[in-house]
């Protein structure tokens, strides 16, 4: 079988690298023992030490390459097998029968991997190659040299969260969120738009940078991918925000629920966990993130896998937050890559899809139409990332561009789209305002400019 061939290849590569390490260690021991009896010039010892380090480096590269080859092969084999099963189940028809088979989480050698044909694995070599290339790019992102120009290009508003006349209604909504139950993928019924009572309930959303949004709907307060730090790593390594924060974390009203799409530093910072760890706030995170939250003594959290749904109750209202797939990856460092899952979230109320939060994702041709068939069309608001797509050969498997934002809007049949994940940090090669300009130009060409645009930092959008 293909798996057997891969295992033979992996063993061959690993055995070769292991022999290099053993030979290097044996040589080093011989050199040390011999040198103690017969002192040699330092130059010769240094030369042999360099050879040992070279062998060690080659062994590490070969071992990692063998691992990467195995992951690629095993993932490809699993994807092909799932496609065959789904083709048999659905017989070429537009159906949702095979969705849970085709796009359930995939693990290879203990780590999550992407079960999508469109995905291409990012190797460590590719990652560091791009970081080196970035060092030679001048004025990456096209950031203005003075604050006045930046303020004109990126207006920043002090959030008022709600209009004064409506604010009191939400401030009186003090009922805590209670988790009723967790529903498995096959327990969640397909959503059909039969109930029309939600159309008069407004959605208020305030963009706070990257994918961080503060959303109010029917008394439910949701914070997505919280980020209130000026640096992703620290002041030494950066990267630093290119725009000021619309507000400080202490000025943010306490949410009922915080949803985190994945654990990358630009989608979750330690300051947010510290702020809301000992409160009534409910954290909803992807499978595998509990280890990180427990380091901060967070106890009020729920882990969801793809297609699982959390049923919440606040006051007399029932809400459903479903964890849906995304094409991305996870990790806060080199040692925890893909230890936890990544996802998108969909909020439903009265069997209607209200809010879709994509987090970070590449484009998958049939994923969003399957989400639509499972949870219903006509999602009121989709918050989609539209930046960090350049260079395309490197970023495409993990990030969508403005044209793919339009595709997802069409696949979901979403009524409104807000483009986020831009104008906060320089994490890719495009001009920092290009995602906004391209998305809004495409929306104008499509005749949907009133329903698809990029928000301004701190300005509360009213979605009717």
- Mean pLDDT lowest for which of 121-125, 291-295, 322-326, 340-344? 121-125
What is the domain extent for residue 94? 51-125
For residue 436, pLDDT over 50 is answered with: yes
- Domain membership of residue 36 (yes or no) is no
Higher pLDDT, 265 or 40: 265
Are residues 309 and 454 both part of a single domain?
yes
- Domain membership of residue 43 (yes or no) is no
pLDDT given for residue 178 in this prediction = 82
- Domain membership of residue 40 (yes or no) is no
- Domain membership of residue 258 (yes or no) is yes
Are residues 327 and 369 both part of a single domain?
yes
- Domain membership of residue 7 (yes or no) is no
Residue-wise pLDDT for 401-416, tens only, equals 999 999 999 999 999 9
Are residues 88 and 232 both part of a single domain?
no
Mean pLDDT taken over the chain: 87
365 to each of 42, 229, 391, how far by Cα in Å?
A: 61, 35, 21
- Domain membership of residue 270 (yes or no) is yes
Are residues 283 and 251 both part of a single domain?
yes
CATH code of the domain in which 229 resides: 3.60.15.10
pLDDT given for residue 130 in this prediction = 84
Residue-wise pLDDT for 261-280, tens only, equals 999 999 999 999 999 999 99
- Domain membership of residue 288 (yes or no) is yes
Residue-wise pLDDT for 49-86, tens only, equals 778 778 787 888 888 888 889 999 999 999 999 999 99
Q: Which residues contact 129 (CB under 8 A, 6 or more apart)?
A: none
pLDDT given for residue 181 in this prediction = 83
For residue 245, pLDDT over 50 is answered with: yes
Residue 284, φ and ψ in degrees, nearest 5: -115, 115
- Mean pLDDT lowest for which of 13-22, 33-42, 188-197, 438-447? 13-22
Are residues 152 and 263 both part of a single domain?
yes
pLDDT given for residue 346 in this prediction = 99
Q: Which residues contact 458 (CB under 8 A, 6 or more apart)?
A: 156, 157, 158, 159, 206, 207, 208, 246, 247
- Return the closest-CA partner of residue 328 out of 78, 159, 115, 124: 115
Cβ-based burial of 306 (10 A; exposed 0-12, middle 13-18, buried ≥19): buried
- Mean pLDDT lowest for which of 97-101, 197-201, 367-371? 197-201
Provide the domain count of the chain: 2
Higher pLDDT, 272 or 41: 272
Are residues 99 and 154 both part of a single domain?
no
pLDDT given for residue 194 in this prediction = 44
Between the two ends of the chain, the Cα-to-Cα distance in Å is 56
pLDDT given for residue 47 in this prediction = 67
Would you place residue 17 in the very low, low, confident or very high pLDDT band (cuts 50, 70, 90)? very low
Say how far apart CA 267 and CA 399 lie, in whole Å: 14
Residue-wise pLDDT for 346-361, tens only, equals 999 999 999 999 999 9
Would you place residue 283 in the very low, low, confident or very high pLDDT band (cuts 50, 70, 90)? very high
pLDDT given for residue 235 in this prediction = 85
pLDDT given for residue 122 in this prediction = 86
Picking from 63, 93, 125, the residue at the C-terminal end of a domain is: 125
pLDDT exceeding 70 applies to what percent of the chain?
A: 84
pLDDT exceeding 90 applies to what percent of the chain?
A: 68
What is the phi-psi region of residue 346: left when phi exceeds 0, alpha when psi lies from -120 to 50, beta otherwise? Answer: beta
Would you place residue 89 in the very low, low, confident or very high pLDDT band (cuts 50, 70, 90)? very high
- Mean pLDDT lowest for which of 73-77, 116-120, 237-241, 269-273? 237-241
Would you place residue 31 in the very low, low, confident or very high pLDDT band (cuts 50, 70, 90)? very low
Average pLDDT over residues 28-33: 48
Are residues 228 and 263 both part of a single domain?
yes
Are residues 169 and 282 both part of a single domain?
yes
Are residues 376 and 441 both part of a single domain?
yes
- Mean pLDDT lowest for which of 129-138, 296-305, 426-435? 129-138
For residue 39, pLDDT over 80 is answered with: no
Say how far apart CA 254 and CA 124 lie, in whole Å: 39
Are residues 201 and 117 both part of a single domain?
no
Say how far apart CA 170 and CA 219 lie, in whole Å: 5
For residue 13, pLDDT over 50 is answered with: no
pLDDT given for residue 174 in this prediction = 62
Are residues 183 and 312 both part of a single domain?
yes
61 to each of 16, 21, 55, 68, how far by Cα in Å?
A: 11, 12, 10, 10
- Domain membership of residue 17 (yes or no) is no
pLDDT given for residue 199 in this prediction = 72
Are residues 103 and 207 both part of a single domain?
no
Cβ-based burial of 214 (10 A; exposed 0-12, middle 13-18, buried ≥19): buried
């Amino acid at each position: 079988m293909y798996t057997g061939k891969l295992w033979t290849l992996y063993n061959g590569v690993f055995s070769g690298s292991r022999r290099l390490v053993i030979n290097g260690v044996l040589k080093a021991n011989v050199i040390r023992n011999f040198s103690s009896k017969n002192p040699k010039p330092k130059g010769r010892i240094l030369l042999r030490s360099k050879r040992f380090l070279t062998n060690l480096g080659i062994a590490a590269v070969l071992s990692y390459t063998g691992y990467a080859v195995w992951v690629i092969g095993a993932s490809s084999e699993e994807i092909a097998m799932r496609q065959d099963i789904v083709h048999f189940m659905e017989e070429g028809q537009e159906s949702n029968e095979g969705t849970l088979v085709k796009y359930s989480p995939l693990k290879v050698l203990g780590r999550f991997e992407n079960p999508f044909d469109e995905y291409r694995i990012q190797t460590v070599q590719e990652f560091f190659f791009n970081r080196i290339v970035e060092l030679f790019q001048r004025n990456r992102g096209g950031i203005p040299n003075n604050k006045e120009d930046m303020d004109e290009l990126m207006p920043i508003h002090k959030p008022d969260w709600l209009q004064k006349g409506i604010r009191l209604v939400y401030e009186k909504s003090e009922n805590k969120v209670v988790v009723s139950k967790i529903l498995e993928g096959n327990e969640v019924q397909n959503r059909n738009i039969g109930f029309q009572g939600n159309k008069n309930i407004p959605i208020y959303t305030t963009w706070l940078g990257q994918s961080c949004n503060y959303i109010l709907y029917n008394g439910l307060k949701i914070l997505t991918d919280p980020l209130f730090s000026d640096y992703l790593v620290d002041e030494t390594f950066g990267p630093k925000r290119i725009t000021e924060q619309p507000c400080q974390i202490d000025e943010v009203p306490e949410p009922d629920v915080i949803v985190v799409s994945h654990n990358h530093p630009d989608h979750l910072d330690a300051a947010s966990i510290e702020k809301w760890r000992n409160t009534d706030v409910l954290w909803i995170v992807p499978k595998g993130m509990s280890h990180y939250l427990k380091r901060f003594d967070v106890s009020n959290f729920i882990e969801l896998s793809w297609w699982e749904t959390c049923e919440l109750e606040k006051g007399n209202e029932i809400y459903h937050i479903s964890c849906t797939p995304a094409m991305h990856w996870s990790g806060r460092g080199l040692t925890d890559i893909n230890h936890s899952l990544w996802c998108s979230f969909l909020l439903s109320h009265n069997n209607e899809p209200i809010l879709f939060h994509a987090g970070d994702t590449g484009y998958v041709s049939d994923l969003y139409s399957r989400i639509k068939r499972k949870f219903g069309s006509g999602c009121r608001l989709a918050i989609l990332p539209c930046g960090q797509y350049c260079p395309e050969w490197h970023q495409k498997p993990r990030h969508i561009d403005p044209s793919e934002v339009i595709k997802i809007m069409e696949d979901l049949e979403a009524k409104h789209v807000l483009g986020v994940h831009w104008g906060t940090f320089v994490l890719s090669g495009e001009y920092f305002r290009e995602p906004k300009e391209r998305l809004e130009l495409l929306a104008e060409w499509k005749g949907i400019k009133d329903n698809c645009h990029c928000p301004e930092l701190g300005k509360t959008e009213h979605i009717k």
